[in-house]
Amino acid sequence: MFKMTFSILCLVPMIGFCAQTTPPPKPSPPQPEPMIVEHIAGGLYFVKGGVGANTAFYVGEKDVTVFDAKMTAEAAGEMLAEIAKVTSKPVADLIITHSDLDHVNGLTGFPKTIKPIVSETTKKEMEEAFQDEKMAAYREYQFAPPFKGRTIFHTAGGESFTLIQAGPAHTGGDTVIVFPKEKAAFIGDLAFIGRDPLIHRAKGGTAAGYIASLKMMIEMDGVETYLSGHADALTKTDLQALLSTLEEKTAKVKALIAEGKTLEDVKAALLPPASPGAPPSRWPSFVEVVYLDLTEKK
């Protein structure tokens, strides 16, 4: 009887005694999916899973180029070990799509001789992040001369890739890498599937820029496969569907702004009600970003 009374009391949150003696277990951090390597075509491979965003690598005639660095030195090491299972050729170049830590912070898992190739804007954003004392080790890496706009990058081993600075979109300087022979592109975070795209307004990312980048990627001649940091390999149809959804949302926000609605009105009208007990979203919804982009005085 005593036991029963005790357990009933424990269900009452006002009884502090129970709360102190039976603290809720700490939620364990979500475990990443195991790392897997998918052969896309020709020399191009897609690396999914592990800690940090998806990456890719290209096995050329003489050496290997890696696209994005994973999130930790350990995850980068794991990726380099996966590459070594595919080829014994050395990793000579690292191209980084943008400045987010899940694409950058594995840099310290690469030898100090690697010189990241990035757009001018991404270089500025990375250098700013590296000013943090905790990032001192990252300042030991020198950048290759950054690029601007659109350029062809030639590896020492004789391969060529087209680099396009597509941003500002997700950040201030997102890069798309095109592999003409493989009819594919590595697009960093320029396509999220099944959730709103993350747009870093603090880094200069914009909703309109995100849409413009999607259009640019869809219009790329001959590209059939798009490799994103946070999705399985995508097709033009996938990007087209994402573009339509985002254009539709933008038009609705514009109409509500024209009616003089506030951000709260717009969110109430266009976002599904939050389910009770669900944790708040980790980033602002796309409609919120559109609203702020269009109404905030710069």
- Assess 78 for contact with Zn ion (CB under 5 A): no
**Token pair of 23 as six digits:** 């603290």
Tell me how far, at minimum, the Cβ of 50 lies from Zn ion, in Å: 16
Tell me how far, at minimum, the Cβ of 200 lies from Zn ion, in Å: 7
What span, in angstroms and rounded, lies between the C-alpha atoms of 230 and 252?
27
- Assess 196 for contact with Zn ion (CB under 5 A): no
- Assess 68 for contact with Zn ion (CB under 5 A): no
Tell me how far, at minimum, the Cβ of 109 lies from Zn ion, in Å: 18
Helices (H), the chain: 2-10, 16-21, 73-86, 101-104, 120-129, 207-218, 236-258, 263-270, 286-295
Considering the complex, state which of residue 89 and residue 124 has its C-beta at the smaller distance from Zn ion.
124
Question: How many residues bind to Zn ion according to rule CB under 5 A?
Answer: 2
Tell me how far, at minimum, the Cβ of 189 lies from Zn ion, in Å: 4
Among 189, 196, 288, 293, binds Zn ion (CB under 5 A): 189
Considering the complex, state which of residue 189 and residue 288 has its C-beta at the smaller distance from Zn ion.
189
Half-sphere exposure of 292 (CA within 13 A, CB side): 15
Considering the complex, state which of residue 170 and residue 249 has its C-beta at the smaller distance from Zn ion.
170
- Assess 293 for contact with Zn ion (CB under 5 A): no
Those residues with Cβ within 8 angstroms of residue 236's Cβ, 6 or more apart along the chain or in another chain: 218, 223, 224, 226
- Assess 125 for contact with Zn ion (CB under 5 A): no
Buried b (16+ CB within 10 A) or exposed e, 45-58: bbbbebbbbbbbbb
Tell me how far, at minimum, the Cβ of 122 lies from Zn ion, in Å: 11
Contact 47, 55 (CB under 8 A): yes
Considering the complex, state which of residue 269 and residue 283 has its C-beta at the smaller distance from Zn ion.
283
Considering the complex, state which of residue 103 and residue 249 has its C-beta at the smaller distance from Zn ion.
103
Place of tokens 């880094």: 203
Question: Which long-range contacts link 30-37 to residues 24+ away (Cβ below 8 Å)?
Answer: 35/75, 35/78, 35/79, 35/82, 37/82, 37/83, 37/85, 37/86
Those residues with Cβ within 8 angstroms of residue 15's Cβ, 6 or more apart along the chain or in another chain: 9
**Interaction residues for Zn ion, span 5-44 (CB under 5 A):** none
Site track 87-106 with Zn ion (rule: CB under 5 A), x = hit:
-------------x------
Tell me how far, at minimum, the Cβ of 255 lies from Zn ion, in Å: 30
Enumerate binding residues for Zn ion (CB under 5 A). 100, 189
